[in-house]
Amino acid sequence: MYPNLKLQIFKRGMRQNYLAQVLGINEAILSKIIHGYHEPSEAMRKSLADFLEAGEDWLFEKYEAQGVGNGSSRGTAPVSIGAERKDDKS
């Protein structure tokens, strides 16, 4: 995932579909780029960075969630609700 790309689109006050239209690409492809399912070409990286007025290296820093399980975790550890500690003598 490229959170900085998503953030910069938001900070510029635009929608993904508008950005895709301006750059002449399919909205689904842009969404896949943002979410890390499609790697943009060098030309697309440069176009996005130029249009969004952001550094290309920063814009395309990847973030990988460190969760376990079925992929739905967002990098947080599981929490036991109401679990008692064995050393608790109350």
Per-residue pLDDT of the chain (90 residues; tens, 9 = 90+): 899 999 999 999 999 999 999 999 999 999 999 999 999 999 999 999 999 999 999 999 988 766 655 555 455 444 445 544 455 554
For 54-87, b/e burial (b = at least 16 CB within 10 A) is beeeebbeeeeeeeeeeeeeeeeeeeeeeeeeee
**Cα 33 from chain centroid (whole Å):** 9
Look up the pTM and report it: 0.67
- Residue 23 contacts by C-beta under 8 Å, 6 or more apart in sequence? 30, 44, 47, 48, 51
